[in-house]
A and B are shown apart, each in its own frame.
Chain A
Amino acid sequence: MRRVAWLACIATIAACGGTEEGFGSVVVDVDGETASREGWPVTADGETIGFVDGWSLSFDAVVVSLAEFTLATSGSRSAELASDPVVVDLHRGVPTAWTFEDVPARRWDRVSYRYVPPTAASRNVNGVDDGILEEMIAEGATLYLSGTATDGEETVTFAWPLAVRVLNTHCHSGVDDTDGMVVRRSGVSEAQLTIHLDHLFFDTYATDDADMRFEPVAAVADEDGHVTLDALSSQPLADLRDRDGEPLRDSSGVLVLYDPGPLALERDDLREYLLAAATTTGHFQGEGHCDYERE
C-alpha cells in the first residue's frame, strides 16, 4: 500500500522532507502474544503466567478489528498513511495488518491506532471466520474472544463480542522505551500492535499487583457450560459468587474483590468490568503503553 500523499510529495518534495530524510517501509504486525495462540498457563522467559484460581484456558478465536494506524510528530506533522480497516484473528498467528512504502524516514513520536467495529468492507487479513465477522458487525464489536476453560473438574466455553471503541494514542515503544518509532531510511521498520489479553482477567486496576482470575466467570455458566457476556452482569463486583451461589473467596478464605481503579464503569458488575478492561488491551511494540480513550 502506498501513502496517499506520495504523489503530492513528488511535486513538493522539499516540503515533504523527502530529500533530506529519505524514505523507508513500515510493516505493521498484530500480536496477541503467546496466550492468544496457546492459552494460559503459559511460560515465557522462565515466568509462568496463568490464573491464580487453578483454571486453564485456550482460545478458539481472538479477533480484533483495527483501523487508522497513524504516524505523526508532536509538531503536528503526519506521515499520512492510508490504513484501511482490517480484521485479524490472533489465534491464527501474528498477521501483518499493513505495509506502507515510501514513508519519510525519521522519528515519529506520535503513534496511534483505533479499535473500530468492522464493516463488510473491512479487509479480512488472515481468514477470520465469516460467522464471527458477521456477529461482530451486527454487535458493533471490536474484539471477539471464544474458547474453552477448565479447572480439571468443570469445563466451560465462552464466545464474547466486545463492543468497545478505543482510540490508542501516544503509544510508547516497549522495545526502546521511547515515544513512537523510527522509520529507517531505505529499510524496513517493524511496528507491532500488541494486544494484551491478560488484562481482561485482571482482578484490579488500582494497583500493579493484579492476579488473573477465571472463577467469577465460570460461576455464571449456564447448564450447558457456556458463559455469555450478558451472564457476567449477574456478578456484582462487591458481591461476587462462586458456582454454588456462595460468596466467592480466594484460597486464603478472603472475599474476592474486583477493583476497577480508574476504569470508568457504567455499572459495577463483571460484564462492565470486562468491557472497561478491554479498553486497556492495546499496546505498542510489546509492553509499550498507549493512552486509552474509550469512544
Chain B
Amino acid sequence: MEAEAGDADAVTLVLDPLDALRGHHAWVAGLARKDGEAIAFEGGLDIPDEGLARRVEDIPLGVELSRDGVLSIAVRPSRWLDGADFGRLSPAAGAGPRVITADGQVHNAWYLGARSPRAFEARFDEGDME
C-alpha cells in the first residue's frame, strides 16, 4: 500500500475478524504447563464491534517514513495470554482440549493481552520494495 512520507511516532491498528479464523479475531491451540500439570486448550478470541474496542493505539514506531520503504507489523502471541490462568478452564467433556470460552478468565486475559500495544511490534525498513 502507499503511504505519506514523514515522521511517524506510532501506529494504530483496527482488528477485524477473519473467516479463516472460524470467524474469530484470533485462534489458539496449545499446551500449558505448570507445576507438573499439562492442560491442552483451544479457543477463539472475539472482540465486539463497539466503541474503540477493536482499535489498538500507540504501537511505538518513532521513525521517518521514506519512499520505497517497508512498514512491518509483527504480532507477539507471547503477550496474548499474559495473566491467563489455564487451571480455570472448565474440564473438557471428552478427551479433547479444554475450550476457552468468552465468559472465562482466560478469554478475559487474552482479550486484554491481544489488544495491548505491547502485543505488536512495528518496524520500518528503508529500501526498495520487492
A interface residues, Cβ below 8 angstroms from B: 205-208, 236-239, 247, 254-255, 257, 259-262, 264-265, 268
Closest to B110 in A: A238
Query: Closest CB-CB distance, B55 to chain A, in whole Å?
Result: 6
Please indicate the chain A residues that have their CB under 8 angstroms from the CB of B84 in the complex.
238
Extra contacts, 15 of them, besides A239-B105, A261-B55 (Cβ < 8 A), are A236-B83, A238-B83, A238-B84, A238-B108, A238-B109, A238-B113, A239-B108, A254-B103, A255-B104, A257-B112, A261-B53, A262-B58, A268-B82, A268-B112, A268-B113
A205 to B57 Cα, complex, angstroms: 13
Question: Are the CB atoms of A237 and B112 closer together than 8 Å?
Answer: yes
Please indicate the chain B residues that have their CB under 8 angstroms from the CB of A205 in the complex.
52
Question: Are the CB atoms of A239 and B53 closer together than 8 Å?
Answer: no
Nearest 8 A/B pairs, CB to CB: A207-B51, A238-B109, A238-B83, A206-B53, A262-B57, A207-B50, A257-B108, A261-B52
Q: Can you list 16 contacts pairing A with B, beta carbon distance less than 8 Å?
A: A205-B52, A207-B50, A238-B82, A238-B84, A238-B109, A239-B83, A255-B103, A257-B112, A259-B53, A259-B111, A261-B55, A262-B55, A262-B58, A264-B117, A268-B113, A268-B116
Please indicate the chain B residues that have their CB under 8 angstroms from the CB of A238 in the complex.
82-84, 105, 108-109, 112-113
Most chain B beta-carbon contacts within 10 A, residue among A207, A239, A262: A262
Question: Are the CB atoms of A207 and B53 closer together than 8 Å?
Answer: yes
Please indicate the chain A residues that have their CB under 8 angstroms from the CB of B51 in the complex.
206-208, 261
Question: Are the CB atoms of A206 and B108 closer together than 8 Å?
Answer: no
Closest to A258 in B: B112
B3-14 near A? 1/0 per residue, CB < 8 Å = 000000000000
Is B85 part of the contact surface with A, judged by Cβ < 8 Å?
yes
Please indicate the chain A residues that have their CB under 8 angstroms from the CB of B52 in the complex.
205-207, 261-262
Query: Closest CB-CB distance, A259 to chain B, in whole Å?
Result: 7
Please indicate the chain A residues that have their CB under 8 angstroms from the CB of B58 in the complex.
262, 264
Question: Are the CB atoms of A255 and B53 closer together than 8 Å?
Answer: no
Q: Which of B111, B113, B116 contacts A257 (CB 8 A)?
A: B111
Please indicate the chain B residues that have their CB under 8 angstroms from the CB of A257 in the complex.
108, 111-112
Closest to A256 in B: B108
Most chain A beta-carbon contacts within 10 A, residue among B82, B103, B111, B112: B112
Please indicate the chain B residues that have their CB under 8 angstroms from the CB of A261 in the complex.
51-53, 55
A237 to B117 Cα, complex, angstroms: 16
A208 to B82 Cα, complex, angstroms: 26
Query: Closest CB-CB distance, A41 to chain B, in whole Å?
Result: 25
Query: Closest CB-CB distance, A164 to chain B, in whole Å?
Result: 16
Question: Are the CB atoms of A239 and B50 closer together than 8 Å?
Answer: no
A105 to B117 Cα, complex, angstroms: 44
Question: Are the CB atoms of B85 and A206 closer together than 8 Å?
Answer: no
Query: Closest CB-CB distance, A175 to chain B, in whole Å?
Result: 25
Q: Which of B83, B112, B117 contacts A259 (CB 8 A)?
A: B112
Query: Closest CB-CB distance, A294 to chain B, in whole Å?
Result: 10
Closest to B47 in A: A206
A206 to B58 Cα, complex, angstroms: 14
Q: Which of B48-105 contact A (CB under 8 A)?
A: 50-53, 55, 57-58, 82-85, 88, 103-105
Question: Are the CB atoms of B85 and A239 closer together than 8 Å?
Answer: yes
Please indicate the chain A residues that have their CB under 8 angstroms from the CB of B53 in the complex.
206-207, 259, 261
A118 to B101 Cα, complex, angstroms: 48
A237 to B82 Cα, complex, angstroms: 11
A254 to B102 Cα, complex, angstroms: 11
Question: Are the CB atoms of A255 and B108 closer together than 8 Å?
Answer: yes
